[in-house]
Amino acid sequence: MTAALIAQRDTIYVLAFLGLFAWVFGIDPPALMRLLIVAFAALALAASAALRGHKIRTVKIPRQPYDTAA
């Protein structure tokens, strides 16, 4: 579940960044979209603070000794 939350946090980061980037460079969104952009940015920061210590852990598959005789 932690991996899914981290992936969702990254998706929210991208959406908030693209919205803020467009807003800064002259695309003037309606008031509701401005609120959504600010809410996404705040949600991404809150999720980042909550998930700060967690990382996606990969499973290490042990190497099979195929080169040794049976």
**What mean pLDDT is predicted for residues 46-66?**
71
Separation of alpha carbons 8 and 34, rounded Å: 20
The DSSP letter of residue 70 is -
Task: Considering only residues 24 and 67, tell me which one the structure prediction assigns the higher pLDDT.
Answer: 24
Please report which helix (H) or strand (E) contains residue 62, including its range.
none
- How confident is the model at residue 68, as a pLDDT? 67
- How confident is the model at residue 41, as a pLDDT? 78
Task: Using alpha carbons, list the distances in angstroms from residue 56 to 2, 13, 21, 25, 60.
Answer: 7, 17, 28, 34, 13
16-53: pLDDT as tens digits: 778 778 878 888 878 888 888 788 778 777 877 777 66
Question: pLDDT confidence of 69, banded at 50, 70, 90?
Answer: low
